[in-house]
């Protein structure tokens, strides 16, 4: 049985779905009903679940960690995620995404070079991420360092993505790489987002 918990913290609602200390889904938004509805859509098809009123000690740690990530803090705790029901490509893309550290972003194209497929395919995998914040798809942006989509690609979702990344800025100056499954994943400081913002402005002005 999957147990679902939610709590309000600092004006945002956070929800988690767990079973035996394994995470099946996470979600967050400013609306309790929307948060729970989105979370339940991410659960495996026909999986039995129960919405609980009082969080367990494990779910409390998880909920607190989501809040900390949202606030741009470093989180040292690690949680096992349930991914057996996900498509193989989605699992590869999300595993790669989970290794992007605080203070950096990567691009859909950079992940595609590691896991195969196209930037668009990576974008679809990120959009179906059942573990927002826990698997930091907010740290994946377009090749021109504009934000791309988040939370259904609404303007509010993109604004929240930007705000989280700004809180995660650690002042790094130079790009770097990490090894993921023997391949190099390119990472870029959060400050590179300003480059994408300027480019987007230029495009708007040229079509204005």
List the catalytic residues. 137
22-29 vs 140-141, strand pairing mode: unpaired
The answer to whether the beta carbons of residues 60 and 9 sit under 8 Å apart is no
Residue 64's nearest CA partner among 114, 34, 117, 28 is 28
Instruction: Return d(Cα 34, Cα 23) in angstroms, integer.
Output: 19
- Partner residues linked to 187 by β-bridges: 176
DSSP state of 86: S
């Amino acid at each position: 049985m999957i147990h679902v918990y939610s709590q309000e913290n600092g004006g945002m609602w956070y929800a988690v779905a767990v079973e035996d200390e394994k995470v099946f889904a996470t979600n967050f938004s400013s609306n309790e009903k929307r948060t729970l509805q989105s979370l339940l859509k991410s659960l495996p098809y026909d999986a039995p679940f129960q919405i609980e009123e009082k969080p367990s000690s494990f779910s409390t740690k998880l909920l607190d960690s989501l809040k900390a990530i949202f606030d741009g803090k470093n989180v040292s705790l690690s949680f096992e995620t349930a991914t057996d029901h996900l498509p193989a490509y989605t699992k590869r893309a999300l595993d790669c995404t989970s290794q992007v550290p605080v203070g950096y972003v990567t691009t859909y194209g950079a992940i595609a070079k590691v896991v195969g497929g196209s930037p668009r395919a990576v974008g679809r995998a990120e959009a179906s991420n059942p573990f927002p914040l826990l698997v930091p798809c907010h740290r994946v942006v377009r090749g021109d360092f504009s934000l791309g989509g988040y939370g259904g690609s609404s303007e509010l979702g993109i604004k929240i993505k930007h705000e989280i990344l700004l809180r995660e800025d650690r002042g790094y100056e130079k790009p770097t790489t990490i090894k993921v499954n023997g391949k190099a994943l390119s990472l870029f400081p959060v400050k590179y987002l300003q480059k994408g913002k300027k480019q987007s402005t230029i495009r708007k002005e040229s079509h204005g």
